[in-house]
Amino acid sequence: MGAVLRNPKVWIVLLCLLPLVRLIVLGVGGGLGANPIEFITHSTGTWTLVGLLVILSVTPLRQLTGRADLVRYRRMLGLFTFFYACLHFVTYLWLDQFFDPAAIARDIVKRPFITVGFTAFVLLIPLAATSTHAMMRRLGRRWQLLHRLIYLIAVLGIIHYLWLVKKDLTDPLVYGGVLVLLLGLRLPLGVALLRAIRGRWVPAGS
């Protein structure tokens, strides 16, 4: 038991399941508010976006801490993000559109924020499908190129959010700011900054 609890993957799985458990507990207890569909859509959408940002923070965190093993958790984070994106999409298909293919197709074409969200979701599918080690080996360099789609997906996620908000843009702008920061930290200047910060913390040679 002790060994299980010392495994960071166990804690990450438990943490990633929390939003789902929260929705179930609130759902069973009638705590989803006056509009449960809206509540579930907003919650799953938010956690998909948070997941994307967490995935994008792995590389800067690795550079900052020098812990190469952080990459090992990225695949699991990616799959949980895809899971929440699926819940988000299924909530829309089922509770918002009642699985009506014509209404869904119309909505995807007509409402720009749905078009963008749908594009982001479709782009996530090949990333989830190729997330295994076997696929990584099989695709080689092409795997890395394919998985760069994560940047575009995150940008589309922010545009989707900005477009759907009617009045107060604060939340999507804050998420957008975090994304700009995380992308900036991948540029040469950002990498140099992270190295400089790490250099101050960690004595040379360690």
Answer for which of 40, 54, 56, 89 binds ligand HEM (CB under 6 A) is 89
Residue 128 is a binding residue for ligand HEM (CB under 6 A): no
Identify whether the C-beta of residue 205 lies closer than 8 Å to the C-beta of residue 66: no
Q: Which of 184, 146, 179 is nearest to 162 (CA)?
A: 179
Q: Which of 19, 60, 78, 117 binds ligand HEM (CB under 6 A)?
A: 117
Q: Classify residue 203 by its DSSP letter.
A: P
**Based on CB atoms, which residue is closest to ligand HEM, 83 or 92?**
92
Stretch that binds ligand HEM, among 18-26, 72-80, 113-121, 198-206 (CB under 6 A): 113-121
For residue 131, what is the enclosing H or E element? none
Does residue 26 interact with ligand HEM by CB under 6 A?
no
CA torsion 70→76→79→85, rounded to 10°? -70
Q: Tokens 């509770």 map to which residue?
A: 95
List contacts with ligand HEM (CB under 6 A). 38, 41-42, 45-46, 48-49, 85, 88-89, 92, 96, 114, 117-118, 120-121, 124, 153, 157, 160-161, 164
